[in-house]
C-alpha cells in the first residue's frame, strides 16, 4: 500500500460514518492550499488594522510591492547573482573535495585508514564555529564565505559517497571477477554506478546545507549579496526587504533541490522503470 | 588467485582438473581432498545435499575462492551463471552481456548471444524489468558470449517455475550442442541431472561419494527405464529412501 492510499484511508476514517474511498486524490490537492491562504489573509488583515506593526513584520501586500521594486531597480538580481556565485564556487570546491576524499577512502583500505579518521574528526567540529578562525586566516572577503560553503558541502557528500561505495553488492563484484574485469573497469562499471544513488542523496543534503552556510557566511561583513541586502534592511527597520530576502533564499533552495531530483530521475532510470511497473 | 594454489594450464583433452582440493572454514572441512577431472565438452552434473560443498567447489573452479588448498587447473576461459542471475542493474541487457568484452565487435557479439537465447527484443531493457526466466537467459548469454571452455552453472534454474525450467533445460542443451563447452552444473534436482548430463556426481562430506555415467542420447525422457533405476540409485546416494518404502 502506498503512502497516498494510506493517507486517504486515514482521512476517510476521521470522518463520521462509512464513506466510499475516493480515487480522485490528485484532484483534491487544492484542499492543502486553504490553510496557507487563510494564514496570509489573516496576516494582511492584522497588518491593515495595525494589530501587526510594520516595525515587526510588513504586510504581505507591501512585501509583494517591495519585491517588485527590488527587481525593477536591479537590487535583487544583483544580490542573487552575487550569492549564487558564492554558493556555486563553494559547492564546486566542496563537491570535488567530498567526492574525491570518498573515492580515496572507499576504494582502498589504506585510503580509508588515511582519510576516514580525519574526516570523522573534522565532521565533529561545528563548522559555523570556525568563522572567527576563517576571518583571521582569510580576512573578510569572498574566500572565507566560499570556504565555509565548501566545508559544509563536503561532509554530506563524503559520508554518502563513502557509504555508497562500501555498500555496493559484493555479488556484483564477484561477477566482475568472473568476467575478468580489471580494477579500473570494476570501479567504472560496478562501483561508481552502484554508489551513485547514495551520492545523490548526499548531493541533496549538501545543497541544503550549502544555502544554510551561505546565509550564515553572508551575515558577517558582506558588502554585496542577499545577506548584505538583509543586513542593510535591518539597519533601516525594513522588514519587507528582510522577508523578500528570506523568500528568495528558500526559493533558491527549492530550485536547487528540484534540479537534483531531475538529475536523480535521469541518472537512475534503471530504478525508476522498475518502481513504476 | 592465491599463490598457494598451483595453477597449471590443463592438458588439451581436459577442461578442468582438480587434485586433492581441500577447503576449510574454521574447523569445518567442506571440501576434503577432492579429485575431479572434467573432459573437454563433457556435461557433468554435481548433486549433493545442502552444505555438501557443491557451491564451494564451483566457486573454487570459478576462481572466486582464494583460500582453497590443493591443485586446481582450469583452461583459459571459464564462465559462470549464478543462481540469481546477478545482472548489473544499471546496465541494459545488451551492455550486461557485453560487459568485459574487448571493444570493437562487443555489441555485435552481445546481440548474437542474445539472439541465441531468444532475448533479442529485450536487449534494451533494464534488468530489473525482466522476468526470472528472461534474466536467467541474459545471464546465460553473458556467460556464453565469452566462448568458455568451461561453463559453470550454479543452480541456475532452481528459482524458476516448473514450465520455465523445462524450456531452460532445452535451451541449455541447444547451447551446449552448438558451442560444446565443458559444463559443470551444480543442482539438487536429480531429474535435471539425469536429463542433461553425461556424468552425474554426488558430493557428500566434501568428497565425491558416487559417480554415474549416462550414455542415453538426448533429448531424454524422464520415464526411460534406465533413468528410473538411476534415479533410485542417486536418491539413495543422496540419503533419500525410494518412494513407497519406509
Segment holding A267, helix H or strand E: helix A239-267
**Residues of A in Cβ contact (< 8 Å) with B126:** 269-270, 273-274
Q: How far is CA B105 from CA B67, B102, B111, B123, B144, in A?
A: 36, 8, 10, 16, 15
Half-sphere exposure of A165 (CA within 13 A, CB side): 22
pLDDT tens-digit profile, chain B (246 residues): 444 455 555 566 889 999 999 999 999 999 999 999 999 999 999 999 888 899 999 999 999 998 999 999 988 789 999 999 999 999 999 999 999 998 889 999 999 999 999 999 999 999 999 999 999 999 999 999 999 999 999 999 998 999 999 999 999 999 999 999 999 999 989 999 999 999 999 999 899 999 999 999 988 998 999 999 999 999 999 988 766 554
Give the pLDDT score at A30: 84
Taking the Cβ of residue B86 and every Cβ of chain A, the question of whether any pair is shorter than 8 Å is answered with yes
Q: Which residues, including other chains, have CB under 8 Å from residue B234's CB and lie 6 or more apart?
A: B47, B190, B193, B194, B200, B202, B210, B212
Output the 3-class SS for B175-219: HHHHHCCEEEEECCCHHHHHHHCCEEEEEECCEEEEEEECCCCCC
* B78-81 and B150-154 strand pairing: parallel
User: Which ranges of A73-141 does DSSP label H, i.e. alpha helix?
Assistant: 75-107, 109-124, 131-138
A79 and A224 Cβ atoms separated by less than 8 Å: yes
Give pLDDT tens digits for A226-264.
999 998 999 999 999 999 999 999 999 999 999 999 999
Counting beta carbons within 10 angstroms of the beta carbon of residue B218, is it exposed (0 to 12), middle (13 to 18) or buried (19 or more)? middle
Give pLDDT tens digits for B23-43.
999 999 999 999 999 999 999
The x, y and z cell numbers of residue A55, run together, are 516595525
Averaged over successive runs of 10 residues, the pLDDT of chain A (277 residues) comes to 41 43 59 92 94 92 95 94 94 96 94 94 87 89 92 95 95 94 94 95 93 88 88 91 94 92 89 62
Give the pLDDT score at A182: 92
Break chain A into its structural domains and give their ranges. Answer: 58-275
Q: Which residues, including other chains, have CB under 8 Å from residue B223's CB and lie 6 or more apart?
A: none
Q: Nearest by CB to B88, from A190, A196, A274: name it.
A: A190
Question: How many whole angstroms from its chain centre is CA A239?
Answer: 25
| Cα separation of the two ends of chain A | 14
Looking at CA atoms only, how far is residue A27 from chain B in angstroms? 31
Q: How far apart are CA A191 and CA B44, in angstroms?
A: 35
Output the pTM of the full model. 0.80
| Cα separation of the two ends of chain B | 47
Q: How far apart are CA A159 and CA B162, in angstroms?
A: 45
Segment holding B37, helix H or strand E: strand B28-39
Provide the 3-class DSSP secondary structure of residue B131: coil
Q: Number of Cβ pairs closer than 8 Å across A and B?
A: 55
A257 and A207 Cβ atoms separated by less than 8 Å: yes
Give the pLDDT score at A271: 84
* φ, ψ (nearest 5 deg) of residue B85: -60, -25
Q: Nearest by CB to A270, from B80, B84, B126: name it.
A: B126
Taking the Cβ of residue B126 and every Cβ of chain A, the question of whether any pair is shorter than 8 Å is answered with yes
Q: Give me the sign of the Cα torsion angle A77, A80, A82, A84.
A: negative
Residues A240-275, buried b or exposed e (16+ Cβ, 10 A)? bbbbbbeebbeebbeebeeebeeebeebbebbeeee
Taking the Cβ of residue B218 and every Cβ of chain A, the question of whether any pair is shorter than 8 Å is answered with no
Taking the Cβ of residue A180 and every Cβ of chain B, the question of whether any pair is shorter than 8 Å is answered with yes
Interchain proximity B88–A180, CB inside 8 Å: no
Looking at the domain that runs over A58-275, which CATH code has it been given?
Answer: 1.10.3720.10
Give the pLDDT score at A121: 92
Task: Give Dmax over CA atoms of chain A in angstroms.
Answer: 77
Taking the Cβ of residue A183 and every Cβ of chain B, the question of whether any pair is shorter than 8 Å is answered with no
Amino acid at each position: 500500500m502506498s503512502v497516498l492510499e494510506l493517507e486517504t484511508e486515514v482521512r476517510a476514517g476521521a470522518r463520521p460514518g462509512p464513506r466510499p474511498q475516493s480515487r480522485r486524490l490528485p484532484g483534491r490537492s487544492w484542499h492543502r492550499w486553504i490553510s496557507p491562504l487563510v494564514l496570509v489573509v489573516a496576516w494582511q488583515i492584522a497588518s491593515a488594522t495595525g494589530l501587526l506593526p510594520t516595525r515587526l513584520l510588513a504586510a504581505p501586500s507591501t512585501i509583494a510591492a517591495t519585491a517588485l521594486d527590488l527587481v525593477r531597480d536591479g537590487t535583487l538580481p544583483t544580490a542573487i547573482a552575487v550569492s549564487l556565485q558564492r554558493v556555486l564556487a563553494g559547492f564546486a570546491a566542496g563537491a570535488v573535495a567530498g567526492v574525491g576524499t570518498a573515492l580515496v577512502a572507499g576504494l582502498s583500505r589504506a585510503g580509508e585508514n588515511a582519510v576516514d579518521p580525519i574526516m570523522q574528526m573534522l565532521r565533529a567540529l561545528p563548522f559555523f564555529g570556525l568563522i572567527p578562525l576563517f576571518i583571521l586566516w582569510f580576512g573578510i572577503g569572498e574566500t572565507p564565505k566560499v570556504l565555509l560553503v565548501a566545508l559544509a558541502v563536503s561532509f554530506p557528500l563524503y559520508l554518502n559517497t563513502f557509504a555508497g561505495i562500501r555498500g555496493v553488492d559484493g555479488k556484483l563484484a564477484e561477477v566482475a571477477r568472473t568476467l575478468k574485469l580489471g580494477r579500473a573497469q570494476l570501479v567504472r562499471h560496478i562501483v561508481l554506478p552502484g554508489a551513485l544513488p547514495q551520492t545523490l542523496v548526499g548531493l541533496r543534503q549538501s545543497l541544503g546545507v550549502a544555502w544554510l552556510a551561505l546565509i550564515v557566511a553572508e551575515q558577517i561583513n558582506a558588502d554585496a549579496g542577499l545577506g548584505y541586502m538583509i543586513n542593510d534592511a535591518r539597519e533601516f527597520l525594513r522588514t519587507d526587504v528582510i522577508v523578500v530576502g528570506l523568500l528568495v533564499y528558500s526559493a533558491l533552495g527549492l530550485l536547487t533541490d528540484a534540479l537534483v531530483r531531475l538529475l536523480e530521475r535521469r541518472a537512475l532510470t534503471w530504478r525508476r522503470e522498475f518502481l513504476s511497473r | 588467485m592465491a599463490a598457494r594454489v598451483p595453477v597449471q594450464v590443463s592438458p588439451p583433452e581436459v577442461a578442468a582438473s582438480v587434485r586433492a582440493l581441500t577447503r576449510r572454514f574454521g574447523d569445518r572441512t567442506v571440501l576434503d581432498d577432492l579429485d575431479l577431472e572434467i573432459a573437454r565438452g563433457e556435461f557433468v552434473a554435481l548433486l549433493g545435499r545442502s552444505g555438501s560443498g557443491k557451491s564451494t567447489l564451483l566457486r573454487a573452479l570459478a576462481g572466486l575462492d582464494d583460500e582453497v588448498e590443493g591443485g586446481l587447473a582450469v583452461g583459459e576461459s571459464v564462465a559462470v551463471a549464478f543462481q540469481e542471475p546477478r545482472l548489473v542493474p544499471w546496465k541494459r541487457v545488451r551492455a550486461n552481456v557485453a560487459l568485459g568484452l574487448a571493444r570493437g565487435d562487443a555489441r555485435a557479439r552481445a546481440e548474437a548471444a542474445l539472439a541465441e537465447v531468444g532475448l533479442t527484443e529485450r536487449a534494451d531493457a533494464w534488468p530489473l524489468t525482466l522476468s526470472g526466466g528472461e534474466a536467467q537467459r541474459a545471464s546465460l548469454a553473458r556467460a556464453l558470449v565469452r566462448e568458455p571452455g568451461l561453463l559453470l552453472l550454479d543452480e541456475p534454474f532452481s528459482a524458476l517455475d516448473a514450465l520455465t525450467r523445462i524450456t531452460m533445460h532445452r535451451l541449455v542443451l541447444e547451447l551446449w550442442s552448438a558451442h560444446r563447452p565443458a559444463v559443470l552444473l551444480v543442482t539438487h534436482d536429480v531429474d535435471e541431472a539425469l536429463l542433461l548430463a553425461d556424468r552425474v556426481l554426488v558430493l557428500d562430506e566434501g568428497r565425491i561419494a558416487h559417480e554415474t555415467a549416462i550414455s542415453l542420447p538426448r533429448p531424454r525422457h524422464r520415464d526411460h527405464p534406465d533413468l528410473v533405476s538411476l534415479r533410485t540409485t542417486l536418491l539413495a546416494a543422496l540419503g533419500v529412501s525410494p518412494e513407497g518404502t519406509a
